[in-house]
Chain A
């Protein structure tokens, strides 16, 4: 635990190079989690991807090109903002926000898609498919495909295409084809199923650009490494602005990509608590939530063993959250390992707590967060009150809330009855 990542000092580029003691074994296992629970037909593609990724992350040219895009296109490094007025509500703790919401496309997702899209070019594939829930990953993927001239197909649950009609328009404007998925519960997990079915059929020329640090090896490793830049920047920024390491790092966890990225900046600092906030939905007792780590059980879903929401027969349960990005019954395997090993803690935040934090940050700091990120903010409010005014809390503000205005407007009654969506007029 005390071994520092040797690449940490290399700035952004160091994030992509081979890292030290936290990589999974050759089969992609983090302890008993991860691995490859996938159809044989896709194993060759996973092997090819793992091999190409390994070469790429050690290739200075690839790393330099990715760094250039992250800087000149995505806008990295993202700033660190101290939220003083917000902190006053968190027991007076110092709350520092890592501003991933200021990246191009409005969330941390761009870090991963730029890396994977460059890899697609490198592998000589032409076609990219991806899943999306709220649309953030879909928009980011469509963006990278527009930039790098790749064909792009986005699978999105039909329930979500209705909830997030503007993001569908955005993806189409960027040149992507959006395919609504009507199977199963018609949400994110079904969009992933459908993308996997496409991939197994078209794997020869197609890359599946998975949007979170889950799935079969090498995705959890690769996506995590592409997001490590968040934690590396943040560690340096927090040290610079406070002269010390934070007491805790908080992030929301759906699949867990922003959390694993920011956690990895601090995983070797034993004094820093790593806390993931899951979607508590209507409360864990209600059965309507997305808290796989807090109240799920181990199983296999979408290619990896991890914690999931399932019934006693092993049928996958439907998740629920007011935030579409956390509305997923599984979680990345490294989080399962961090939870079991005790290095990270996971808690659940209800819709109500998240929406209070959403409003509070808007009113106190003039920053409208994504509802996903508002879960992390709610965690900071709770923890700050536990720890008091001496605490320094780093919150990963993983995305901005523009996409959530419709939800927020209805939740808080900010629009008249015949409001801003078609639904209201029916």
Chain B
């Protein structure tokens, strides 16, 4: 299975892919595995996430809002080590979803990009999302990811120029991560119009699928974003639900989000 296959399957079902995010080791390593499995399983009625972004907890997460900062901090305080990331990735793969990792660059640089790529691939990982690595600085990662057959998922933002959209689309593979608003991660009350605009602008430069993240709070938001994006990324809201209701809650939330994406009448005009 590749990321491309996942998006193709979802498109055939005339829906956007559900992409969930959770930091590995949150709140502890065993509990994070349970949560990730529940996010994939869904709630019994509806299967959950098609793709799961396993977050690598980091001491200095500058792109993250309070929810993910706190969750990452908790994982680190509970002793999370980078090598445990791959167990979480394996768990997602075993549960039947497509695992990717989201990580700031320094821990990967420290681990060694080639060793990291090899271990990620061996664990069943399909790609890496790099919130602070732009294509111009990604030479080492491009070589490592090519060698080990991993997708490179870069971010585009409302502030990205046409030139940068083209450059980023060209350098990326698997899908493009569109940051819906200018800001950090975190659930928001509404999904900004800038997301729709960014997806429209990005499509002019690429045929890669586009996932929209930042601010998606609930099934209603997810459905709204699913009308114009190929993937809907939900992170902070999963953490909040998991904190309140544990794995059962995470599974139930995944089911709600997935139903939101399926219930919508497909308006392929926008997609």
Chain A residues within 8 Å of B, Cβ to Cβ: 27, 35-45, 47, 183-184, 189-190, 193, 196-197, 200-204, 297-303, 305, 310, 312-316
Minimum C-beta distance from B210 to chain A (A): 14
Q: Which residues does chain B contribute within 8 Å of A315, judged by CB atoms?
A: 58-59, 76, 107
Q: Which residue on A lies nearest to B214, using beta carbons?
A: A41
A189–B160 Cα gap in the complex (Å)?
27
Contact of A41 among B59, B69, B106, B159 (CB under 8 A): B159
Q: Which residues does chain A contribute within 8 Å of B158, judged by CB atoms?
A: 41
B95 interface contact, C-beta 8 A = no
B154 interface contact, C-beta 8 A = yes
The 3 A-B pairs of least Cβ separation, nearest first, read A314-B110, A41-B157, A314-B107
- Can you add 7 more A-B contacts, CB < 8 Å, to A193-B61, A201-B183, A202-B182? A40-B159, A45-B159, A203-B159, A310-B110, A314-B109, A315-B76, A315-B107
Contact of B136 among A36, A184, A302, A312 (CB under 8 A): A36
A184–B106 Cα gap in the complex (Å)?
17
User: Interface residue count for B (Cβ, 8 Å)?
Assistant: 39
Q: Which residues does chain B contribute within 8 Å of A316, judged by CB atoms?
A: 59-60, 106
A300–B134 Cα gap in the complex (Å)?
13
A200–B106 Cα gap in the complex (Å)?
20
B127-158 contacts to A, CB under 8 A, are: 131-134, 136-137, 154-158
A47–B167 Cα gap in the complex (Å)?
15
Q: Which residue on A lies nearest to B103, using beta carbons?
A: A314
B244 interface contact, C-beta 8 A = no
B208 interface contact, C-beta 8 A = no
Question: Quick check: A312 and B110 within 8 Å, CB to CB?
Answer: yes
Interface centre among B60, B136, B164, B182 (most CB of A within 10 A): B60
A37-B105, A201-B183, A313-B107 given; A189·B134 CB < 8 A: no
B10 interface contact, C-beta 8 A = no
Q: Which residues does chain A contribute within 8 Å of B179, judged by CB atoms?
A: 39-41
Q: Which residue on B lies nearest to A316, using beta carbons?
A: B59
A41-B158, A44-B164, A316-B59 given; A299·B106 CB < 8 A: yes
Q: Which residues does chain B contribute within 8 Å of A47, judged by CB atoms?
A: 161
Question: Quick check: A201 and B82 within 8 Å, CB to CB?
Answer: no
Contact of A40 among B69, B105, B134 (CB under 8 A): B134
Q: Which residues does chain A contribute within 8 Å of B111, judged by CB atoms?
A: 313-314
Q: Which residue on A lies nearest to B81, using beta carbons?
A: A313
Q: Which residues does chain B contribute within 8 Å of A39, judged by CB atoms?
A: 62-63, 131-132, 155, 157, 179
Q: Which residues does chain A contribute within 8 Å of B60, judged by CB atoms?
A: 184, 189-190, 193, 301-302, 316
Q: Which residues does chain B contribute within 8 Å of A184, judged by CB atoms?
A: 59-60, 73
Q: Which residues does chain B contribute within 8 Å of A196, judged by CB atoms?
A: 62
A314–B61 Cα gap in the complex (Å)?
12
Q: Which residue on A lies nearest to B157, using beta carbons?
A: A41
A310–B110 Cα gap in the complex (Å)?
9
Question: Quick check: B159 and A44 within 8 Å, CB to CB?
Answer: yes
Q: Which residue on B lies nearest to A299, using beta carbons?
A: B106
Q: Which residues does chain B contribute within 8 Å of A301, judged by CB atoms?
A: 60, 106
B184 interface contact, C-beta 8 A = yes
A184–B63 Cα gap in the complex (Å)?
14
Question: Quick check: B133 and A37 within 8 Å, CB to CB?
Answer: yes
A312–B112 Cα gap in the complex (Å)?
11
Mark B240-259 against chain A: 1 for CB-CB distance below 8 A, else 0.
00000000000000000000
A183-B69, A314-B108 given; A40·B154 CB < 8 A: yes
5 contacts between A and B (CB under 8 A): A37-B133, A184-B59, A193-B61, A299-B106, A300-B106
Minimum C-beta distance from A5 to chain B (A): 28
Q: Which residues does chain B contribute within 8 Å of A43, judged by CB atoms?
A: 134, 159-160, 164
Interface centre among B62, B63, B69, B105 (most CB of A within 10 A): B62
A38–B60 Cα gap in the complex (Å)?
13
A201–B137 Cα gap in the complex (Å)?
23
Q: Which residues does chain B contribute within 8 Å of A303, judged by CB atoms?
A: 132
Q: Which residues does chain A contribute within 8 Å of B81, judged by CB atoms?
A: 313
B168 interface contact, C-beta 8 A = yes
Question: Quick check: A40 and B168 within 8 Å, CB to CB?
Answer: yes
Question: Quick check: A204 and B62 within 8 Å, CB to CB?
Answer: no
Minimum C-beta distance from A336 to chain B (A): 14
A27-B136, A37-B137 given; A193·B62 CB < 8 A: yes
A27-B136, A37-B133, A39-B132 given; A299·B159 CB < 8 A: no
Minimum C-beta distance from A392 to chain B (A): 41
Mark B47-65 against chain A: 1 for CB-CB distance below 8 A, else 0.
0000000000011111101
Question: Quick check: A200 and B183 within 8 Å, CB to CB?
Answer: yes
Question: Quick check: A41 and B182 within 8 Å, CB to CB?
Answer: yes
Minimum C-beta distance from A190 to chain B (A): 8
Q: Which residues does chain A contribute within 8 Å of B65, judged by CB atoms?
A: 197
B186-223 contacts to A, CB under 8 A, are: none
Q: Which residue on B lies nearest to A194, using beta carbons?
A: B62
Q: Which residues does chain A contribute within 8 Å of B58, judged by CB atoms?
A: 314-315
Q: Which residues does chain A contribute within 8 Å of B134, judged by CB atoms?
A: 36-38, 40, 43
A40-B155, A43-B134, A313-B110 given; A204·B164 CB < 8 A: no
Minimum C-beta distance from A50 to chain B (A): 13
Q: Which residue on A lies nearest to B85, using beta carbons?
A: A313
